[in-house]
Amino acid sequence: MAEAPKKEHRPAATANTTCRSLACALAAAIAFAVPHTSAAQSVVVREASLKRNCLDKGTSDHPLHGKEFEACLRKQIEGLPALDRTRREHFGERYDPPKYVECRLQPDNRNSSACNVFILRRREWPEYWPANAVRPRWPEAPQESVYRNGMKPREYWEALCNAEAGEFIYKTVKDVEGFLLVRPRGAETDYAAQDPFVVEDAYGFREFQFVHLETRPGKGLFTLSKQNYSFIESGIRSASGRRMWLRHEIDFSKLEEMLRRKPEKWREEQFSSVSEISELKSVYGLTWRGIRREHDIELGISGGELAVVDLKFGEVVAFRRGFALDVFAARGDKSRRYWLSSAGCPVMGREFLTLSAFIRKVLPPRGT
């Protein structure tokens, strides 16, 4: 009969505090990689500090330091999701929230926005459809791909532009008073503009980048002329999350006064105002979306579509599709992106003026 193994006798205190070698090594590695974590976890983080990007306790004369600063940074990333590779384009190329904390804790990085690349995600632009609106069916993409093995970025981009891009106007109407921005869009950050993934529609991005359509939907669409829309409407979320309808409306008496003075410089704020409304007047809506094609991200190409919709019947009145080619991708550089300098399809213009011209062509304002 085999001899029973002898029990190892240790002092009770030693036996209770000794861990297996692997667990000890792991604990040591964590302690080395993330210093002060235990101390930081015991700190209560104030909402005022989070609103101040963890720089202070609510006022600049009470800065956060040491374990308080680290605890606030960890609280910042607490609710961020893990990288979802099935939705890769929704996360920045360098997305890694724990590295954001490490970055901010480095000397001289306390207030460095460069660390934001580690928490960069796609900014979602919600659609605001009226309750009685019929949502449109977007036109189908061509079934046959134009991609061929070995294509260079510019070669593939030109093939996409030739095969798919353009303005398609199915119906025009007359004397339009205004319309609804179903999916208002504003500016993206510089870090988003330099990321290959997170800008949903880099083609339309450059047209909208400097126009604050979220809060002033008529900005860039109103002109200093009699040929104007009376209003532009849009939806927005309040700070509490409540949906609000906005109407950006022209005061034509103020507009006429400005037309008499003929100023060299003007702003739409001088003859228009924004107010919250309970009911919409719009018959037509404008919405957009980003589109994907095989191998587009790796080759520095981003596509987008814009549609003018009859809100009552869900009919697509007009439709525009285009593709952007990143300037660095065009040169063969796979490591850099800057969508603000990207090229649009040669067959189409691509500035905000071309966007507003397309809208006016489809929905001509009263008096044109």
Q: State pLDDT tens for residues 163-180.
A: 999 999 999 899 999 999
Q: What ranges in 78-132 are assigned the alpha helix state H?
A: 97-105
What mean pLDDT is predicted for residues 57-63? Answer: 88
Q: Provide the 3-class DSSP secondary structure of residue 178.
A: strand
- pLDDT digit string, tens, across residues 196-255: 999 999 998 877 776 677 789 998 889 999 999 999 999 999 888 899 999 999 999 999
Tokens of residue 82, six digits: 């893990």
Tokens of residue 63, six digits: 């800065």
- pLDDT digit string, tens, across residues 311-355: 999 999 999 999 999 999 999 999 999 999 999 998 776 666 778
Predicted structure pTM score: 0.83
Q: What ranges in the chain are assigned the alpha helix state H?
A: 12-17, 21-33, 37-41, 47-51, 66-77, 97-105, 153-164, 190-193, 202-208, 252-261, 327-330, 352-362
